Amino acid sequence: MPGSNRNLTEAPATNGTWRAGVESLLIFVVFALYAGWPVPEPNESHYLSKAKHYWNRSWLADDFFLESADSHATFYITAGWLTRFLDLPDVARVGRVLTWALLAFYWRRLSWSLAPWTGASILSAALLVGLNERFQMAGEWIVGGFEAKGLAYAMVLAALGELVRGRWNLTWLYLGAATAFHVLVGGWATVAVGVCWIASGAARPRIAAMLPGMAGFALLAGPVVWQSLALTRGVDATAIATANDICVFRRIPHHLFFYSMNVGFRWRFAALVAIWAALAWLTPTTPGAKRLRVCVWASVGLAAIGVALSTLALWQPEFAARWLRFYWFRLADVFVPLGIAITAVQFAWQTAPRIRWGRALAPVALCVIAAALLGSYVFTVQTTETPRADKATKTANLPDWRDVCLWVSEHTPADARFITHRPAQTFRWYAGRSEVATNKDMPQDARSLVEWWDRLEAIHATGNPEQRWHHSLTELDPARLERLGKTYGAQYVLTDAAPALAFPCVYRNGTYAVYQLSTAGSEAANNDVSP
């Protein structure tokens, strides 16, 4: 009978250290296959540059983005010290191993607590990343590069594992750690667990019994929440409204505004929710599984609120943007695949004995599905695309991009500042030089966010609503570039090699050129190696 808990018991946390270790290692391999694209991943260039600057303020001391508010200080404190001893690519590699190991360990504990069969956690891990990649709606992921979000999700998995076992104090403690690393990931997971506590009825523990864990949550999450509130503190209402509008409707609507999301993505996610509903109804449950399911449904409820706010934005955009900036769709993109991954394994193992050859066929079927989801991603992305932060849409020629950045690092002053093309993501990573503004590096505090957008528009805007941005800096009038250099303290322009700009070219390769503005010193001119 669907929903029945007849003949079901809660599983122990582990089934032997040796077996648990092997399964965790294999889950790590699954995650590495999925997210093992070359360094840097887009957010790594964003987060790790910030982390390096946090620990060494003299590195690109006057860079606008790096000097903006530090909204993920826990991550910068935790990860940034590595930049004192390792270069950024090695920090990313070490951080990925650590993050994937934590995710694998806590995923294995969570999966085993509900599906206590050898190998089940490996299958559910492959289903998790496959479903998350192929069915997400708002672009959220759980396994990726080295950034605050990955560590936060590891803590969320730890919290869910303790929640399933009914250990509420540890649940709150892990949620506090998750919120400390990423206030929205941990915050929304806390809301989902709060809904679970309310829905627990007679099994709901008293607040007094949870006070130690809740106190730990406050100690871990409190400073970060206070810091997040400071992002708009002291800023006038008009600037805050402008920042919200930029964030929600102009820069990242594909993450925040339902009606800007890909229509196909919306439908495939709706299908995933329907699959989740069917599995949750058909699969016998335990008290622990019921708690997890409530959390998954809570994430769907948050997404539904996001849809309602997006609809309201059609009439009241300023009010809706004030709330839509909190990523209402983020948790469901992860929790619905998470719920399906674990529940599908439960369903297969619990129903297989009723079917002839079922016990043998069930894992084979799950393996095929998991391999298809994960394998299609590995084949189409890992073997055909350049590193994510250096896609063809960002760099016309990757070797030439790295070459020009290397020249910049070796032949320009350490305090030089550059005007670069808008989609650039890794100039600071490869060249180690400051830049005026790029599309990726959006500050988090309201005042800086508005200034950042003003910079992008001043440099790259066409003034034509049909084509908002110039494709290349070579399209700009030289007088405009000269004026921009003086306004923002930039001495150089890095852009396409052709057509040539009316400035001294200090370096050119087949794809890119570096030009010296009149605000530049003499050092680069003395190193002119252009053809």
Domain limits of the chain?
A: 17-232+240-385, 398-527
Amino acid in position 172: W
CA distance 435 to 34: 32
- Residue-level pLDDT at 465: 82
- The secondary element (H helix, E strand) that includes residue 275 is helix 263-282
CA distance 509 to 502: 17
Structure tokens at 428: 């600071």
Pseudo-torsion of CA 311, 314, 316, 320, nearest 10°?
Answer: 50
CA distance 270 to 274: 6
- Residue-level pLDDT at 387: 53
CA distance 399 to 468: 29
Q: Give CA separation, 224 vs 48, 50, 149, 178, 186, in Å.
A: 19, 17, 14, 11, 11
Cis peptide leading into 499, omega within 30 of 0? Answer: yes
Which of these, 166, 124, 112, lies nearest to 288 by C-alpha position? 166
CA distance 436 to 486: 11
CB contact at 8 A, 293 and 361: no
- Residue-level pLDDT at 85: 93
CB within 8 A of 258, min separation 6: which ones? 266, 306, 307, 310, 311, 329
Q: What is the 3-state secondary structure (H, E, C) of 282-345?
A: HCCCCHHHHHHHHHHHHHHHHHHHHHHHHHHHCCCHHHHHHHHCCCCCHHHHHHHHHHHHHHHH
Q: Which pTM was predicted?
A: 0.91
Amino acid in position 197: W
What percent of the chain has pLDDT above 70? 86
Rg (CA), the chain: 25
- Residue-level pLDDT at 354: 53
Ranges of the chain with pLDDT below 70: 1-16, 351-396, 519-531
CB within 8 A of 376, min separation 6: which ones? 134
Query: Helix and strand tally (H, E) in the chain?
Result: 21, 7
CB contact at 8 A, 406 and 430: yes
CB contact at 8 A, 81 and 55: yes
